[in-house]
Amino acid sequence: MDIVSLIITLLLAALMLYLLVRLPLAILGNLRDGHRFREGLAHALDELRLARMLKYLGIDAATYLHRENAVDIQKQMERCDACDAKDQCDQMLEESPTPEVDSLGFCANIDDLKEMRDPR
């Protein structure tokens, strides 16, 4: 074997070793970042009426955060924060939950929440 082939083989072996070490580290880093992002979403959700609405409808917040896309969650949080019916929402959320959600038509997120409650 000539020297050029040996150098190329060693370079490829070093590159493969680097990838074998670096790839799992990158995956673990991405998992940690995703977990931190979801924790931030959970904290922001707790500060909105949307968290109370989820509980009112019998939707587990952890399941909601796990199953829904982060983009959809952020849109729903923005809608909740910008809602004009906050007083009506507070009154409704103080009452005991009812199986009927037709009285929640004022909620900007009710259509999405109904789908989560009754998956098709």
Q: Could you read off the pLDDT of 16-66 as tens digits, one per residue?
A: 999 999 999 999 999 999 999 999 999 999 999 999 899 888 889 988 998
Mean pLDDT computed over every residue of the chain: 89
Confidence (pLDDT) at 92: 84
Judge contact between 22 and 62, C-beta under 8 A.
Answer: no
- Mean pLDDT (whole number) for 62-89: 90
Q: How many domains does the chain have?
A: 2
Judge contact between 72 and 112, C-beta under 8 A.
Answer: yes
**Pairwise CA distance, residues 97 & 84, whole Å:** 22
Q: Give the residue numbers spanning the domain of 24.
A: 1-47
Assess whether 15 and 67 both reside in one domain: no
Assess whether 101 and 111 both reside in one domain: yes
Assess whether 3 and 31 both reside in one domain: yes
Assess whether 66 and 12 both reside in one domain: no
Confidence (pLDDT) at 98: 67
Assess whether 11 and 54 both reside in one domain: no
Confidence (pLDDT) at 25: 97
**Pairwise CA distance, residues 87 & 23, whole Å:** 51
CA dihedral angle for residue 108, residue 111, residue 114, residue 118, rounded to 10 degrees: -160
Judge contact between 50 and 85, C-beta under 8 A.
Answer: no
